[in-house]
Chains A and B, each alone.
Chain A
Amino acid sequence: MALPELEPGVLPPGAERLRGEVRDFLATTDFEPRCDSWLTGTDPEFSRALGARGWLGMTLPEEYGGHGRSPLERFVVIEELLAIGAPVGAHWIADRQMGPSVLANGTEEQKRRFLPAIARGECFFAIGMSEPDSGSDLASVRTRAERGADGRWRLTGTKVWTSGAHIAHAMVVLARSTPGATRHEGLSQFIVELPADGVTIRPIPGLSGEHHFNEVVFDGAPAELLGAEGDGWRQVTAELAYERSGPERFLSTFALVRLLCSLSPGVASGRLLGRLWALRQASLAVAGALAEGRTPDLEAAMVKDLGTRFEREVIDVARDQLAVEPDPTSPDQAARLLAQAVVQSPGFTLRGGTNEILRTIIARGLGVR
């Protein structure tokens, strides 16, 4: 059999108690459930409340302000937050990947500066990867990092589609640190604390006019190296399995599923639930493999491919069953959720690597190329 096989993920003892605690918290906290809440639901106060309960930076060591919990316990917390459509967008990037990345690659001083603040919900991160001429072909980035006579790094270039840069306290940037190097060579990761001299952040309004994406222009902006010089490509790709297989890749439209199951339970809602159950098992299995120190990159890409297409399937089923026109300002919750989902839906299969790029990676893993 060609592919390595996934075994089901098993939640640790105490996971269900933790789930209950999260549900209790959510039941007594005021917010408006929405679709795609991990991208568009921004509420710094909510993020700090999660931090106060120990639900951010869960897997970070206690000596850095984290909570020493397992990745599977974090899985339980984030799937509860996503399923109810809670506003987790402000801290999402910091909690999901910058905490683990700073822990793996940062200096002792960087760990002490960033990790406790991430765990408190007081340090939000943005990620600068794509550029005007570099989308799917990420290795073609042109943002330059140059080290001055004082030994300090400065960045020059432009990043686009940078989620939440306007509210972030820091941004991680992939830049070329070796002049003349091509493709995967000579790339490094840098951290820029925001706001900073030489950094201009401009909104790129989304389809519904909301301010979520930004263009971030660096004009000799001061930056600090994250990890080893020239190791940027390896560091970035090491984050991918975490980024691609989580429950945010199949729960972005779950608020609609919930509505459908209560308003119109039947064959259509049952079909979605069966598929969703299977996708969650696959995601949980990838999380379990990651927790054991394996790198199930192909399987993570598969979860994202099928999961994000499921998110869109939910919209079509909801349109069939609910017979309501999408309206972002409607007093009818169904109309509002449908409007949020429809307008966000093109992004589902673009962000985190387009599904076509993912399938190319999977095919290569299968041995055909």
Chain B
Amino acid sequence: MELLEETAHAVFAEDDPWAALLETGLTGVGVPEDAGGSGGDLADVGVLLRVQGYHGAAVPLAETILAGRLLAATVHTVPPGALTVVPGRFARRIPWASEAYRLVVLHRGRAAIVDPQDVQILPGTNVAGEPRDDVTVASDQAAVECPVSAEQVMLRGALFRAVQMSGAMRRVLDRSVQYAGEREQFGRPIGRFQAVQQQLAELAAEVTVADVAVKAALRVPDDEFAVGAAKLNASRAAGAVADLAHQVHGAIGVTSEHPLGALTKRLWAWREEFGGEVYWARRLGELGRMPWNAVSRTEGEPATVTW
């Protein structure tokens, strides 16, 4: 796992991280080898996506792994290149659809591998400039029975986004602490001022709690309450973390050259994707009518993860 983390940091430091991810086979992490992937489980995927978030890298990695795992559980073979799941024939805000090599379209319990050339795409972007496209698929695509539902895709996607956010928030904290130690005003580093210290402490607390919650959810990836809560909390924390970090950085942080923005823009985008706070709050409200049972429940042995 530590080796994977080191390798991932090296890959994301390259000029073209997507090419390096394909070349090293990291786009196939979490996808069984007999389906054409690189093997590994969701814990490995968690390590990889957290590092991606840490680097704020603009790559369709989470989407490709999500689609790859779905295909491995369905047709046992995964096409090479960027993939993304389209959960319905009329689907909105699909990440990376316009740049994907293949789309995996779900419709009424069946899945089809579709060339993006063969669907109608209305391009859009999130605030970080990543493609988020509306997709309309004709009804005549050949499809096979699929054991994974659109709701399960939503849940897994929420888990992946929460992991990416935990990595991005960790980097935001690191950058803010470093900046507060370097930037001098009134003849001393701004980190010497209690007002700034209070902000950094709150930032660190939000990042730490969000991080451990996401790690806990990764251990029970099919538990809707746990994953929903981790995503909800990560989304909530992302808002506070971005506000605090920008306040600490002052005006330099709001220029497009400064690296903070690549992280905070992703946090602002990702907190809404695969369900924002209101979406998951509604679900948790429904699931949590016996609130203490819902919050304190722990599984015995981790359930077998089928996809």
Contact = CB atoms under 8 A, between A and B. Distances in A.
Interface stretch (B85-93, B249-257, B264-272, B289-297): B289-297
A369 interface: yes
A254 interface: yes
B205 interface: yes
A16 to B, nearest CB: 7
Contact of B281 (A3, A262, A267, A282): A267
Interface in A251-286: 254, 257-258, 261-262, 265-271, 273-282, 285
A270 B283 contact: yes
B14 interface: no
A359 B300 contact: no
Contacts of A5: 208, 211-212
A273 B285 contact: yes
A362 B204 contact: yes
A358 interface: yes
A8 interface: yes
Nearest to A302: B205
Nearest to B203: A366
Contacts of B282: 266-267, 270
B285 A269 contact: yes
Interface string B198-213: 1011101110111111
Contacts of A182: none
Interface size class of B (residues with CB under 8 A): 35 or more
B215 interface: yes
Contacts of B174: 1-2
Interface size class of A (residues with CB under 8 A): 35 or more
Contacts of B280: 270, 274
B208 A261 contact: no
A369 B197 contact: yes
Given A267-B278, A306-B205, A363 B200 contact: yes
A50 interface: no
A368 B192 contact: yes
Given A1-B170, A366-B204, A369-B191, A261 B215 contact: no
A291 to B, nearest CB: 15
A232 B284 CA distance: 46
A269 B291 contact: yes
Contacts of B278: 267
Q: Classify the interface of chain A: helix, strand, loop or mixed.
A: helix
Given A261-B285, A270-B281, A368-B189, A83 B296 contact: yes
B212 A281 contact: yes
A228 interface: no
B40 interface: no
Contacts of B212: 5-8, 281-282, 285
B277 A356 contact: no
Contact of B295 (A15, A276, A368): A276
Interface in A278-318: 278-282, 285, 298-299, 301-303, 305-306
B289 A254 contact: no
B177 A2 contact: yes
B213 A278 contact: yes
A19 interface: yes
A148 interface: no
A8 B219 contact: yes
Nearest to B283: A270
B230 A278 contact: yes
A11 B295 CA distance: 14
Contact of A274 (B177, B232, B290, B296): B232
Nearest to A254: B292
Nearest to A260: B291
A271 B281 contact: yes
B245 interface: no
B229 A277 contact: yes
B246 interface: no
A258 B189 CA distance: 46
Contacts of A298: 204
A64 to B, nearest CB: 30
A273 B284 contact: yes
Contacts of B196: 368
A280 B292 contact: no
A16 B298 CA distance: 8
A358 to B, nearest CB: 7
A303 B204 CA distance: 11
Contact of B209 (A306, A356, A360): A306
B209 A282 contact: yes
Interface in A8-38: 8, 11, 15-16, 19
30 contacts: A1-B174, A3-B208, A16-B298, A19-B296, A83-B296, A84-B292, A266-B285, A269-B288, A271-B232, A271-B236, A273-B281, A274-B284, A275-B232, A275-B236, A277-B213, A278-B210, A278-B213, A278-B229, A282-B208, A302-B205, A305-B201, A305-B205, A306-B209, A356-B198, A360-B197, A362-B201, A362-B204, A366-B177, A368-B181, A368-B192
Given A278-B229, A305-B205, 14 more contacts: A16-B298, A266-B285, A269-B288, A270-B280, A271-B284, A274-B233, A277-B230, A278-B213, A280-B295, A303-B205, A306-B205, A363-B191, A368-B189, A369-B192
Interface of B: 170, 173-174, 177, 180-181, 189, 191-192, 194, 196-198, 200-202, 204-206, 208-213, 215-216, 219, 225-226, 228-230, 232-233, 236, 277-278, 280-286, 288-292, 294-296, 298, 300
Interface of A: 1-3, 5-8, 11, 15-16, 19, 79-80, 83-84, 254, 257-258, 261-262, 265-271, 273-282, 285, 298-299, 301-303, 305-306, 356, 358-360, 362-363, 366-369
